A = this chain, B = another copy of it.
Amino acid sequence: MISVVILGAGNVATHLFNAFDKSDKITVAQWYNRNIGSLKPYKNKVDITDDLSNLKEADIYIIAVSDDAIARLSSKLPFENRLVVHTSGTVNIHDLDKKNRRGVFYPLQTFSKAAPIKFRNVPMCIEALDKTDFKTLKSLAKAIGSKSHKINTNQRKTLHLAAVFVNNFTNQLYRVAHEITEAQGVEFDILKPLILETAKKVQDLSPYMAQTGPAKRNDKKTIEKHLELLDNEQHKAIYKLLTASIQETHGASTNSATDSQKKIK
B125 close to A190 (CB less than 8 A) = yes
Among A158, A161, A172, max chain B CB count under 10 A is at: A172
B169 close to A238 (CB less than 8 A) = yes
Consensus secondary structure, chain A interface: helix
The interface residues of chain B lying within 8 Å CB-to-CB of A174 are: 165-166, 170, 202, 207, 210
Distance A75 CA – B190 CA, assembled complex (angstroms): 31
Number of interface residues of A (CB under 8 A): 92
**Which of A25-33, A130-138, A149-157 binds B?**
A149-157
Residue among B68, B178, B201 making CB contact with A264, cutoff 8 Å: B178
Tell me whether A69 is interfacial, beta carbon within 8 Å: no
The interface residues of chain B lying within 8 Å CB-to-CB of A125 are: 190
The interface residues of chain B lying within 8 Å CB-to-CB of A246 are: 168-169, 172, 175
The interface residues of chain B lying within 8 Å CB-to-CB of A157 are: 225, 229
B171 close to A202 (CB less than 8 A) = yes
Contact A179:B213 (CB < 8 A) given known A173-B169, A194-B109, A234-B244: no
Residue among B159, B201, B237, B242 making CB contact with A186, cutoff 8 Å: B159
B112 close to A190 (CB less than 8 A) = no
Among A165, A196, A212, max chain B CB count under 10 A is at: A165
Closest chain-B Cβ to A6's Cβ sits at a distance in Å of 20
B229 close to A169 (CB less than 8 A) = no
Contact A191:B159 (CB < 8 A) given known A165-B177, A172-B249, A197-B109: yes
Among A187, A199, A226, A229, max chain B CB count under 10 A is at: A199
Name 9 extra pairs, CB < 8 A, besides A151-B186, A188-B206.
A68-B221, A149-B190, A158-B181, A161-B230, A165-B238, A166-B191, A168-B242, A172-B242, A174-B210
| Residues on A facing B (Cβ under 8 Å) | 67-68, 90, 108-110, 112, 115, 121-123, 125, 149, 151, 154-155, 157-188, 190-208, 210-216, 221-222, 225-226, 229-230, 234, 237-239, 241-242, 244-246, 248-249, 264
